[in-house]
Chains A and B, each alone.
Chain A
Amino acid sequence: EVQLVESGGDLVQPGGSLRLSCAASGFTFSDYWMHWVRQAPGKGLVWVSRINSDESITSYADSVKGRFTISRDNAKNTLYLQMNSLRAEDTAVFYCARSTGASFFHHWGPGTLVTVSS
């Protein structure tokens, strides 16, 4: 069974940093593209970033470009999102998701909450 489990969400002050992790199991992690999607409280889904299977391709939404870095460790079956210079508007539940190629998201984790507040 495909499982994705995010962790690392926390309360952080504006300007601070946080690293999210997404542990994958039940499939060959190194075969798939992975994504981060976020959802602010009471709001809609927003794609944040993606990475291809061998880390040679990464992409970011304009709102996080230069502040967030996506990476993966295929040996540990884990996806990461390093978030720097956090702002109040980054407050959201962050989901990791899996796709076959650069496509739709067939599997999602349950999400981890990031709160940016002083």
Chain B
Amino acid sequence: DIQMTQSPSTLSASVGDRVTITCRASQNINRWLAWYQQKPGKAPKLLISQASSLESGVPSRFSGSGSGTEFSFTISSLQPDDFATYYCQQYNTYSTFGQGTKVEIK
């Protein structure tokens, strides 16, 4: 099974900050990686697929990069609506989620 290690688990930041989350796969997943945002009591929302492809309607301050086993997700300027939990997901072999990163207000 492919394991996804996401870090950090919690991130404290202020509005306007640049924040980066990393995700490491236990084996090569090429670029078969997605990023989701989840707010309390809500279903996850797809932000990025294929490591760096931004979904339609998602603000350009969100971006993703990486391939193979190392990936990153960046919010260039944190906005009030961005405080949430973010998950990476590999879909190279079945599906595995990272443990999640809670972005909280500093």
**In contact, B99 and A103 (Cβ under 8 angstroms):** no
> Across the interface, which residues of A come within 8 angstroms of B55, CB to CB?
106
Given A103-B91, A104-B91, are A45 and B46 neighbors across the interface (CB < 8 Å)? no
In chain A, positions 31-52 with a C-beta closer than 8 Å to chain B are: 35, 37, 44-47, 50
Q: Does A80 contact B (CB under 8 A)?
A: no
Known A-B contacts A62-B1, A102-B91; the reply to A108 vs B43 at CB < 8 A is yes
A47, A104, A110: the one within 8 Å of B96 (CB) = A47
B34 interface contact, C-beta 8 A: yes
> Chain A: how many interface residues by the 8 Å CB criterion?
21
Specify the chain A residue showing the minimal Cβ separation from B101: A44
Judged by DSSP, the binding face of B is: loop
Q: Are B49 and A110 in contact (CB under 8 A)?
A: no
CB distance from B63 to the nearest CB of A (A): 16
Q: Which of A44, A95, A102 contacts B100 (CB 8 A)?
A: A44
Number of interface residues of B (CB under 8 A): 22
Interface string of B22-55 (1 = CB under 8 A from A): 0000000000101010100011111001000001
**Given contacts A62-B1, A104-B91, A111-B43, is CB(A45)–CB(B100) below 8 Å?**
yes
Interface residue from B36, B38, B45, B95 paired with A47 (Cβ < 8 Å): B95
Assess A45 versus B44: contact at CB under 8 Å? Given A62-B1, A103-B32: yes
Instruction: Judge whether A59 is part of the interface by a CB distance below 8 angstroms.
Output: yes
The residues of B that contact A62 with a CB separation of less than 8 Å are 1
Measured CB to CB, the closest approach of chain A to B85, in angstroms, equals: 8
Residues of A within 8 A of B99 (CB): 44
B contacts, CB < 8 Å to A = 1, 32, 34, 36, 38, 42-46, 49, 55, 87, 89, 91, 94-100
By Cβ-Cβ distance, the 9 closest A-B pairs, closest first, are A108-B43, A104-B34, A47-B95, A45-B97, A44-B100, A104-B49, A103-B91, A44-B99, A104-B91
A-B contact sample (4 more), CB < 8 A, given A44-B87, A45-B87, A105-B89: A46-B97, A47-B97, A95-B44, A105-B34
